Each structure stands twice: as C-alpha cells, then as structure tokens.
Amino acid sequence: MKENILMASDMNDYFNKKKSENGGFGKKSSGGSGGGPQFPKIDLNFGGGKAGMAYFLVAVVVLLVLAKPFTIIEEGERGILSTNGKYQDQALLPGLHFIVPVIQKVYTVDTKVRIINYAARIEATARESGIIAKPAVTVLDKRSLPVSIELTVQYRLNSQFAAQTISNWGFSWEDKIINPVVRDVVRNVIGKYDAEALTQMRNDLGTEIEAGIRDSVMALKNAPAILQSVQLRDIVLPQKVKDQIERVQIAKQEVQKAEQDVQRVKQEALKRAAEAEGVAQKARIEAKGKADAVTIEADAQAKANILISKSLTTKLLALEQIKVQGKFNEALEVNKDAKIFLTPGGSTPNIWVDTKDIQKRTTAN
C-alpha cells in the first residue's frame, strides 16, 4: 500500500513540474513555439489524504470479499487444499480456514456414510434420499447360468487419508474402488456354487461376500474407504432354475407327506398293538386272577375237607344219622304213603319217595 501511495505522489510531482515548465498544459510558450498536447490533471490522492486512504481501504475490502480468501468446512466433510494444482497431504478439518486467492483452492469431500443399492429395479426415490442406485450384479454360477444378485453396500471415505485418496483416485473414487470391488467379489463367490444351492446358502453367501469386499478395500493403499456393512437382499435365478427348484420342492413335499403317512400308519399300528397287548394283558391278569381265585378256593376247600375229615368221628356220624332219621320221621307224619329206603349202616343218605306225587322227589342229606 505504501508503494501505491509513493507512486501516486511521484506522478503528481511529475505532472506539476511539466505544468510549471510549459506554463500549463494547453497553452503556447512565450517564445511562440507550439506546445505539446494537453492532458487533464489527475488527482491520485482521491481528493485528499484521509479520504483517499479510506477509499483505498474500502476497495481492498471489496476486493478481498470478491476474492473470498477463506473457506468453511462443515462437520462430516473434509477439505482438500490445492496450491498451484498440488494437493496438500493433510485434509482440512471442519472449521474456518484462510487461503490465498487465485493461488490456493479448497475442494470439499463428503466423509459421511454413503449407500449404494444394487437392484434390478431402480427406485425413483433413491436419488432424492442420497442413495446411489446401480443395476443388480449379474454373474455366472458354477454351470455358467446367469444369476442376478441384489445387495446394499454402506461405506464412507476414510477421512484420515482423504487427501491421498483424492490425489490417487480423483473425486470419482467410489466408482473406481467400491463398484469394481463389489462386482469382482460377487462374481468370485457366486461362481463357486450351483444356482440351485444359492437360495439355501443365503446367510453364508452374505457373510462371504461382505468379508471379501472388506478385505479387498482394506488391502488398497492407505485404505481409501471404510466399509460399514453389506446386506444381501435378493438372489434372482433364471426361470428354468426356478422351475427346477419348484419341481424339486414339490417332490420333496410329496416324499415328506409319504413319510408322514408311513409314520402315521406305524403309529396307528403301534397304538392298536398296544391296545391289543393291553387287552391280552388284562385277560391274562383276569384269567390268572380267576385261576388264582379257584386255586385259592380249592385249597381252602381241600383244607376244609381235611379239617372236616379229621373232625368226623363215629359218634358224630351217629348223631348226624339220628338227625336225619328225625327228619324222616317228621316227613312220614306229613306223608304216610311215602316209601322209605334205609341204607344199612348209615353210610349213605336215607331217601324217601312221595307216592302221592310221582313228579315230586325230595332228597334229604
């Protein structure tokens, strides 16, 4: 600023000196000789010392505002400082940063989590929500049948090496890193299996694909991106493979139904056998009970007979004979025409026959 003020003073002194020598611009000299061209007087002090200084300061401020020698980095972002086209190694952190206009520039990069959806059907709301939409990854299975894989990848720029990543890969780094890695890993994983087995290995495939993508990205120099997660959302098989799987499923269901029927028949047979066994066991128990009862009764009767036989004496038998004879006598009083058969010795019962009623026979012991 001092140099500009000195230059303005020198120029004013020069023009004032010329004016005094020539008697003023636009006038002829007293010698009659023709003078030079006339120039208007330029006041480079802007009409005064203090006012000129104020004008100059205002001009400098306006120039600075227009040149914008500062930048503001928001949270979730990093600034890449470029000086004469060369990137600085360390990215600028969130906050206010001053730069040299024209010579330095700051490029802002997003370090927040980003999402890429690989899907056969791209939703219209994907771009509005900040989600990058990509076509489904179409690869070949072990038998070279086309298979479409739909998945969602969440990742973010590694803020620690943001400047190196932009320097090496450019601002379209994700199209050069994430997208090729995802497609390459999915191709290698799916290519090891048959299409029919993929739907049954869904969880294992998702884990294997995520591990492969993570390892591939981290293996790059300076680990340019940090992988958050990978979700395997769908496995789209060819129609003929779907039909084959459906036929296999139907056959399996029929086999399972037949096995269930066999099991049901076996259960019913076992149930009937158990019931028959129960009935037989019950009959055996009842028969054994009856036999035991008869045996017990026979044993009791035998024992009773033994006791009775032991208790029978001649006198007791004679007494019993007398009792029977008394009954006969009572019967003869009622029926005087009865025929009586007497057994000698009294070893057998006495029998009488009622002659009045042939059909009626009475036996007394």
Same domain, 89 and 62: no
Written as one letter, the residue type at 158 is N
Read off the pLDDT of each residue in 286-291 and give the average, rounded to a whole number.
81
Cα–Cα distance, 53 to 204 (Å, whole number): 76
| Confidence band, pLDDT 50/70/90 cuts, at residue 357 | low
**Helix 202-218 to helix 178-190 angle, to the nearest 10 degrees?**
140
Residues 223 and 119 in one domain: yes
Task: Tell me the pLDDT band of 87, cut-offs 50, 70 and 90.
Answer: confident
Regarding whether 183 and 170 lie in a shared domain, the answer is yes
Boundary (domain end) residue, out of 287, 311, 335: 311
Give burial (CB, 10 Å; 0-12/13-18/19+) of 138.
Answer: middle
What domain range includes position 98? 70-110
Residues 306 and 318 in one domain: no
Same domain, 170 and 128: yes
Residues 224 and 325 in one domain: no
CA 36, CA 3: separation in Å to the nearest integer? 30
Query: What confidence score (pLDDT) does residue 16 get?
Result: 55
Are 132 and 214 members of one domain?
A: yes
Residue that is last in its domain, among 237, 270, 288? 237
* Average pLDDT score, the chain: 77
Q: Residue 121 belongs to a domain with what CATH number?
A: 3.30.479.30
User: Who has greater pLDDT, 15 or 212?
Assistant: 212
pLDDT value at position 30? 41
Rounded mean pLDDT, 52-79: 80
| Pair (169, 223) in one structural domain | yes
Domain boundary among 52, 81, 110: 110
Provide mean pLDDT across the span 98-125: 83
Number of domains the chain is built from: 5
* Cα(258)–Cα(274) distance, integer angstroms: 24
Backbone dihedral region for residue 102 (phi beyond 0: left; psi -120 to 50: alpha; all else: beta)? left
- Verify that 104 and 188 share a domain, yes or no: no
Residue 3 banded pLDDT, cuts 50, 70, 90: very low
Residue indicated by tokens 């190694």:
89
> Does 249 share its domain with 201?
no
Judge whether residue 37 has pLDDT over 70.
Answer: no
Tell me: pLDDT of 236 over 80. Answer: yes
**108 and 79 in contact (C-beta within 8 Å)?**
yes
- Give the rounded distance of the alpha carbon of 56 from its chain centre: 69
> Per-residue pLDDT averaged across 153-163, rounded?
91
Residues 147 and 161 in one domain: yes
Q: Are strands 95-98 and 70-73 parallel, antiparallel or unpaired?
A: antiparallel
- The β-bridge relationship of strands 132-135 and 114-119 is parallel
| Residue 201 and residue 245 in one domain | no
